[in-house]
Amino acid sequence: MKKKSTSRGAKQSALIVGVGNYAPEVGKLPAVANDVRAMGDLLASRKGMFTKATTKVLLNSQAKRGSVLNQLKSLFQNAPAEGTVFAYLAGHGMVLGNEYFYLPYDYDRSQPKLSSVPLAELKAMFDATTANRAFLWLDCCHAGGVLRRRSGPDETTIINRTLKAVKGTGKVIVAACKPDQSAYEDSGIGHGLFTDALVRGLRGEAKTTSGEVTAGSLYDFIDQCVTHPSQQPMFFGEQTGRIVLMNHGPRKAASGASSKPSKASKSSKKNPTAVRAKGTWVMLGEDFHLASKVRSHSDGSIDLTLTPHSPESEARIVSLKPRGFSHRGKIRYAADKDACDVEVLEVVNEIERGKPCYTVRLKSGEQTTNQMMEMSVQGLSPDEIAQRRIGRLLFNDPPSTSSSGYGEEQFIENAISGSFSDVKIDGSVIQEIYRLHGESSDWRSFARLKAISMMKASCAIEHVLELTIGPVRASRVKVSFRGVRPQRYANQEPTSIRLDGYCRLE
């Protein structure tokens, strides 16, 4: 019994706050009540790391400004250094001046600042806690009765500025503050879209192989479920160690305190944001297509079976057809870990299970090496230039500022950017693809293909061993790359390159 009390009890405290029953002019949020009840029940359940005695719930009329501030202050100030604190706030939010506010139950439009909870004050309390494990979740949407600002920073900018510098270690803030109510609720789920993923994750869908739901595994799960950039939560803080929220054990077990599935779990399959397209993404030219089959033949030809995912996608596939005797020329092709120049031989339209699909036959060409891209420059070997080129493509690494002679920087920059080649390296392709396709849940697949294509085309790499792009956190993604350079000498192993870092998306 003593061992059990060390994992659940006074050292773990949770505060769940939710307001949905606002005045009509502000806008009601019926789903918030479900959110708050589900969160409290889960955290205090036998699989949660909290207890009923240490889990405080404030719902609607209980969540007046004074009560919210007092309970938050008590939660963060009274937590022991070895403790864990979990705070969750759901409801309306708004921007006034250059500040963001959470709207409590007794919000008064005639005194907006005096009747609201400043995000900056909440952040200050969070920073001041001595608990070495702290988790803060904000699930807010723009109050319908509050006029939007016509100029100045938007919600995302202000929230990012307020929360970006988290003091201490082991502290994590996830802010899912959305621009409107439609992004918040889905009547088929009964929860906010973010909280639906959060609840499902706590119930066990986000558990690790050891059966624990940690802050890290929970956020990664939410990122997989919530895919639209305007709805993706922002992640702040650097996690050290594990913030364990639930423990389901290593074996599969029924989640929650009741064996009866909840409304959220029943309808989770209906959540459109969690749907993933089936197939493999390939790149043809500047477009990305979903391929149900990819076949490579010994003669160098490649057959793709493409399924249009929209009328625009189908039009782009049809445009690949060779017209009469006209020669379309070569286009860039990328799939999985490889890329090359190809010529489109034919495009055949078929009907499969009542839906159109297209078989596209390609002829791959040999990769030609531009000798100017494989030269030593100002004492830097071709391998070192290639590594800098990859750093530019993936992380937008800036030009070197060191120089030992006149014009050295420009020579090196010309080699990195491909000034003497048809392949120009202007910056991070991950940034570029996010700007163009960030609204798609598959934008990371697109960015990966484009990056592989550019690395191969610029002769920076011959074989890609690994390229992963992580979830968006605080407007950046973690990128890990491993690859092998072309072999220059028969008696020497080719150079391997490994790069890990973060790419900013702004």
Residue 7 confidence class, pLDDT cut points 50, 70, 90: low
Q: Examine the pLDDT at 405 and tell me if it is beyond 60.
A: no
Which segment, 7-16, 141-150, 294-303, 478-487, is predicted with the most confidence on average?
478-487
Do residues 246 and 202 lie in contact, with contact meaning Cβ atoms separated by under 8 Å? yes
Lowest mean pLDDT among 182-196, 389-403, 462-476: 182-196
Percent of the chain at pLDDT exceeding 90? 39
At position 353, the amino acid (one-letter code) is R
Which residue pairs from 361-365 have beta carbons closer than 8 angstroms and sit at least 24 positions apart in sequence? Answer: 361/301, 361/302, 361/303, 361/304, 362/301, 362/302, 362/303, 362/304, 362/333, 363/300, 363/301, 363/302, 364/300, 364/301, 364/302, 364/333, 364/340, 365/330, 365/340, 365/341
| Per-residue confidence (pLDDT) for residue 116, from 0 to 100 | 96
As a whole number of angstroms, the distance between CA 305 and CA 293 comes to 5
Can you give the residue ranges of every domain in the chain? 2-273, 280-364, 371-504
As a whole number of angstroms, the distance between CA 500 and CA 479 comes to 6
Residue 160 confidence class, pLDDT cut points 50, 70, 90: confident
The per-residue pLDDT for range 248-284, each reduced to its tens digit, is: 876 444 333 344 444 444 433 333 333 334 578 999 9
Name which CATH class applies to 280-364: alpha beta
Residue from 285, 398, 286, 297 nearest 343 by CA: 285
Residue 449 confidence class, pLDDT cut points 50, 70, 90: very high
Count Cβ atoms below 10 Å from residue 25 Cβ, excluding itself.
Answer: 10
| Per-residue confidence (pLDDT) for residue 143, from 0 to 100 | 62
Q: Report the pLDDT averaged over residues 105-122.
A: 95
Residues in the chain: 506
Q: Examine the pLDDT at 388 and tell me if it is beyond 70.
A: yes
Which residue pairs from 151-158 have beta carbons closer than 8 angstroms and sit at least 24 positions apart in sequence? Answer: 152/98, 153/95, 153/98, 154/95, 154/179, 155/93, 155/95, 155/100, 155/179, 156/234, 158/95, 158/98, 158/99, 158/100
As a whole number of angstroms, the distance between CA 109 and CA 111 comes to 5
Q: Report the pLDDT averaged over residues 457-478.
A: 89
The per-residue pLDDT for range 171-221, each reduced to its tens digit, is: 888 888 765 544 444 444 545 677 888 888 999 999 888 888 887 788 888
Q: Average pLDDT over the chain, rounded to whole?
A: 80
Which is it for strands 84-96 and 496-504: parallel, antiparallel or unpaired? unpaired
Residue from 167, 88, 89 nearest 127 by CA: 167
The dihedral sign for the CA sequence 450, 453, 458, 460: positive
> What ranges make up the beta strands (E) of 195-337?
212-214, 234-236, 244-247, 280-284, 287-296, 301-306, 330-335
Structural tokens at position 252: 């599969």
Residue 311 confidence class, pLDDT cut points 50, 70, 90: confident
Residue from 365, 230, 342, 359 nearest 285 by CA: 342
| Per-residue confidence (pLDDT) for residue 303, from 0 to 100 | 92
Residue from 225, 138, 231, 235 nearest 180 by CA: 231
As a whole number of angstroms, the distance between CA 242 and CA 340 comes to 43
As a whole number of angstroms, the distance between CA 26 and CA 363 comes to 60
Sheet holding 496-504, edge to edge: 463-469, 476-484, 496-504
| Per-residue confidence (pLDDT) for residue 158, from 0 to 100 | 86
Q: Is the pLDDT higher at 213 or at 404?
A: 213
Name which CATH class applies to 2-273: alpha beta
Residue 390 confidence class, pLDDT cut points 50, 70, 90: very high
The per-residue pLDDT for range 55-97, each reduced to its tens digit, is: 999 999 999 999 999 999 999 999 999 888 999 999 999 988 8
At position 247, the amino acid (one-letter code) is N
The per-residue pLDDT for range 331-360, each reduced to its tens digit, is: 999 999 999 999 999 999 988 777 888 999
